[in-house]
DNA sequence: TCAAGATTGATGCAATTGCATTAACTTGTT
DNA sequence: AACAAGTTAATGCAATTGCATCAATCTTGA
């Protein structure tokens, strides 16, 4: 094993990280300047809000967002601290719990989307035709992302 | 302003972060398991090694790698601590300095590339044809990455 | 049923990051 | 020359992350 990557593959990888880093940084800046919390909060709230009953087990959230377990645990701490979600006990598994989004949480998620969506439009939408964006999505999907569907306010799950 | 992004743009952005996060994580894991330092060290050593004289001003490294100033400062601290680079004074600007890669630094960079390149091949090269990789690169470039050429051991500069 | 093993979630601790500020020097203007 | 403004690099401190581990509970299979 240990084949060398082609220059094309290497260049694609280079761009992938550079562009992602740049755009993510810009989006985070936009959110912060608009007085919003980090993008990770949006992702969590989005996952919760679209889950049936507005609640998920921490372990499910963890899988959706592709972040480590301790990270999920602390993210939930912060959401709860801010009144955006509540921890509820789980009767069918006494180890676990449910995390349920609050009305304030739904509110914030909606408000954040207005800034977030604008940032996506500014950094992606305005630079590619829809056809090109679809091509980009398809190529990226082939790199093994096991994402589900693509409703409008889509999820992102950054690191 | 504040137009909404198309579903295509949103989906592309979703994949962009997901795939980048996943692949970056996998690459970092590979490096760590092979006993190597983080990818950022590779990037810095790579930039230094290809600079004329094997040296750069911290501020130049910072621009190449697209990382914050304090981050550069501390990264250099660590490289120097490990004997991979040395700080040299800069005579034409007494505020500044030069950072020069050492023989050990060049050595490490070369060794890391063998693991790094293999990871790129595994996660990108083996999943796309060269033509598709080139298309991906072009699409990403249109998102405003101002990267320079694409020599084989290319740079990456993660956050 | 009971023990061994897996799963769930939290947390102490060290390392890293982000922010703001500082000190030292250079440049441009008058 | 002299001063204001800009640039370069470092650092104290708080917040966050990553790692390892733990306690509690569930599951499996003899």
Mind listing the pLDDT tens digit for each residue in B65-93? Answer: 999 999 999 999 999 999 999 999 999 99
Phi–psi pair at A10, nearest 5 degrees = -60, -45
Query: pLDDT: is A157 or B124 the higher one?
Result: B124
Identify any residues that bridge with B88 across adjacent strands, giving them in sequence order.
B98
Phi–psi pair at A99, nearest 5 degrees = -115, 125
First to last CA, chain B: 29
Q: How many Å apart are CA A149 and CA A142, to the nearest integer? A: 15
What pLDDT does residue B122 have?
A: 93
Cα–Cα distance list, B96 to A126, A145, B60, B72, B92 (Å): 40, 44, 11, 13, 9
Confidence of residue B146 (pLDDT cuts 50, 70, 90): very low
What pLDDT does residue A1 have?
A: 59
Query: CA nearest A78: which of A42, A30, A112?
Result: A42
- The pLDDT mean for chain A works out to 89
pLDDT tens profile B37-57: 999 999 999 999 999 999 999
With a cut of 90, say whether residue A158 has pLDDT above it: no
User: B125 and A153 in contact by Cβ < 8 A?
Assistant: no
First to last CA, chain A: 29
Detail the protein residues whose CB sits closer than 7 A to any atom belonging to strand D: A 40, 68-71, 74, 92-95, 159; B 32, 57-59, 62, 69-70, 73-74, 76-77, 87, 90, 93, 95-97
With a cut of 60, say whether residue B158 has pLDDT above it: no
* B139: Cβ contacts below 8 Å, ≥ 6 apart: A128, A132, A135, A136, A139
Structural tokens at position B79: 């490289």
What pLDDT does residue A33 have?
A: 86
What pLDDT does residue A146 have?
A: 42
Closest residue in chain B to residue A140, using alpha carbons only: B15
What is the average per-residue pLDDT within A122-134?
96
What is the average per-residue pLDDT within B130-155?
71
With a cut of 90, say whether residue B156 has pLDDT above it: no
Q: How many Å apart are CA B29 and CA B74, to the nearest integer? A: 22
pLDDT tens profile A8-56: 999 999 999 999 999 999 999 989 989 999 999 999 999 999 999 999 9
Query: A89: distance to nearest CA of chain B, Å?
Result: 31
Sign of CA dihedral A15, A17, A18, A24: positive
**Mean pLDDT lowest for which of A104-118, A141-155, B143-157?**
B143-157
Q: Is the CB of A155 under 7 A from strand C?
A: no
With a cut of 80, say whether residue B22 has pLDDT above it: yes
Q: Are A157 and B16 in contact (CB under 8 A)?
A: no
What is the average per-residue pLDDT within A87-113?
95
With a cut of 70, say whether residue A91 has pLDDT above it: yes
With a cut of 50, say whether residue B11 has pLDDT above it: yes
Q: Which of A2, A3, A6, A12 to mutate to test the interface with B (most CBs of B within 10 A)?
A: A12
Task: With residue B98 as reference, give the H or E element that holds it.
Answer: strand B97-101
Structural tokens at position A72: 């999920």
Phi–psi pair at A87, nearest 5 degrees = -90, 130
Residue A1: Cβ within 10 Å count:
5
User: A8 and B153 in contact by Cβ < 8 A?
Assistant: no
Which positions on chain D have an atom < 7 Å from some protein CB? Answer: 6-12, 17-20, 23-27
Q: Are B110 and B46 in contact (CB under 8 A)?
A: no
What pLDDT does residue A2 have?
A: 61
What pLDDT does residue B149 have?
A: 31
Interstrand relation of A85-89 and A97-101 (parallel, antiparallel or unpaired): antiparallel
What pLDDT does residue B33 have?
A: 87
Q: How many Å apart are CA B42 and CA B106, to the nearest integer? A: 10
DSSP A1-25: --PPPPHHHHHHHHHHHHHHHHHHH
Query: A64: distance to nearest CA of chain B, Å?
Result: 11
The label of the residue with tokens 């949480």 reads A105
Query: B55: distance to nearest CA of chain A, Å?
Result: 22
Q: Which of residues 30-89 of B touch A (CB under 8 A)?
A: 66
Q: How many Å apart are CA A49 and CA A32, to the nearest integer? A: 22
Task: With residue B63 as reference, give the H or E element that holds it.
Answer: helix B58-65
What is the average per-residue pLDDT within A86-109?
96
Confidence of residue B144 (pLDDT cuts 50, 70, 90): confident
Closest residue in chain B to residue A43, using alpha carbons only: B14
What is the average per-residue pLDDT within B57-68?
96
Query: CA nearest B46: which of B101, B86, B118?
Result: B101
What pLDDT does residue B12 have?
A: 97
Strands of the B85-89 sheet, one edge to the other: B55-56, B97-101, B85-89
- The pLDDT mean for chain B works out to 89
pLDDT tens profile A62-71: 999 999 999 9
């Amino acid at each position: 094993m240990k084949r060398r990557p082609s220059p094309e593959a290497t260049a694609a990888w280079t761009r992938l990280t550079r562009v992602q880093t740049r755009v993510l940084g810009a989006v985070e800046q936009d959110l912060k300047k608009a007085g919003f919390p980090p993008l990770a909060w949006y992702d969590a709230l989005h996952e919760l809000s679209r889950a049936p009953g507005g609640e998920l087990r921490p372990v499910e959230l963890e899988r959706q967002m592709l972040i480590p377990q301790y990270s999920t645990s602390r993210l939930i701490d912060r959401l709860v601290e801010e009144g955006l979600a509540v921890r509820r006990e789980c009767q069918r598994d006494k180890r676990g719990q449910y995390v349920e989004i609050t009305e304030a949480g739904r509110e914030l998620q909606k408000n954040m989307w207005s800034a977030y969506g604008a940032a996506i439009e500014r950094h992606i939408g305005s630079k590619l035709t829809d056809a090109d964006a679809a091509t980009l999505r398809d190529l990226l999907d082939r790199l093994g992302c096991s994402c589900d569907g693509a409703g409008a306010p889509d999820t992102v799950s950054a690191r």
